[in-house]
Amino acid sequence: MTYRLQGKICIVTGGGQGIGAAVADCFAREGASVVIAELDEAMGAAKACELAAQGVPSLFVHTDVAQAESVRVMVAAALVRFGRIDVLVNNAGINVFRDPLKTTADDWKLCMSVDLDGMWHCCQAALPAMLEGGGGSIINMASTQSFSIIPGCFPYPVAKHGVIGLTRALALEYAARGVRVNAIAPGYIETRRNIEYWNRFADPAAARQATCDALPPKRIGRPDEVGMTAVFLASDEAPFINASTIVIDGGRSIAYHD
């Protein structure tokens, strides 16, 4: 049986939970070795142990993407264990939603340090190994808020707009040297964060249904649907896809009105 990522060494930041964990699972099923770079030690270690129990070569490295040195240590550990890096999925992120005029310097720094700077730290650390190895694929997790703004979510969409700029700039810089850089922009996906959001309402089931009703397919997206899109971009099936963003939202972001 041929696996789509057979032999590839893949780093997934925020890989211990949510979409990141789904990406790690999808990569593992397609034959990849997986490095789980995760801030939450318990979740990260648990995911790496789960993969290892399935016979998947895996490694957990406690990583704070907001700290460049932490990222460098993670990449160094991946290289010691596996010898090269073929794929980097910049998935780690944080929701920071504030009233613009009440946004503090710390609020702004927290959002940008994780959602934008963190991706740059990882790209900067992993790119030399990819270039030395003759190429690779970087996949940045953007958002539908990279294009369309939901009021009340400032400054999160500012960072996510920046992710698209980072993706495009790096994609053109390194395309001739074999590195492709693309983004995925999920909409509503059934992650723990969204479930917690619905649970804040007096009737969580009704809140969830309202979200479903607002989406063209009348359902919420699944984390594995994002994961399999990442598999495609990471694989040798997408050699001429570069500086692109794949939107996964069931078509919601193009709707003019409800």
Sorted by where each starts, the structural domains of the chain and their CATH numbers stand as 9-190+222-251 (3.40.50.720)
pLDDT score for 257: 79
Return the pLDDT at 114.
98
Taking Cα atoms as reference points, which of 177, 183, 190 lies closest to residue 229? 183
Q: What is the pLDDT of residue 183?
A: 98
How far apart (Å, rounded) are the C-alpha atoms in residues 220 and 202?
Answer: 20
Rounded (10°) angle between helices 117-133 and 68-82? 30
What pLDDT shows up at residue 1? 75
- Supply the pTM of this predicted model: 0.96
Query: Which residue out of 3, 156, 174, 256 is catalytically annotated?
Result: 156
Please compute Rg for the chain using Cα positions. 18
Residue 193 has a pLDDT of 87
The pLDDT, as a whole number, for residue 207 is 93
Amino acid 249: pLDDT: 96
pLDDT score, position 2: 83
Tens-digit pLDDT profile for the chain (258 aa)?
A: 789 999 999 999 999 999 999 999 999 999 999 999 999 999 999 999 999 999 999 999 999 999 999 999 999 999 999 999 999 999 999 999 999 999 999 999 999 999 999 999 999 999 999 999 999 999 999 999 999 999 999 999 999 999 999 999 999 999 999 999 999 999 999 998 899 989 999 999 999 999 999 999 999 999 999 999 999 999 999 999 999 999 999 999 998 877
Q: Is 197 a catalytic residue?
A: no
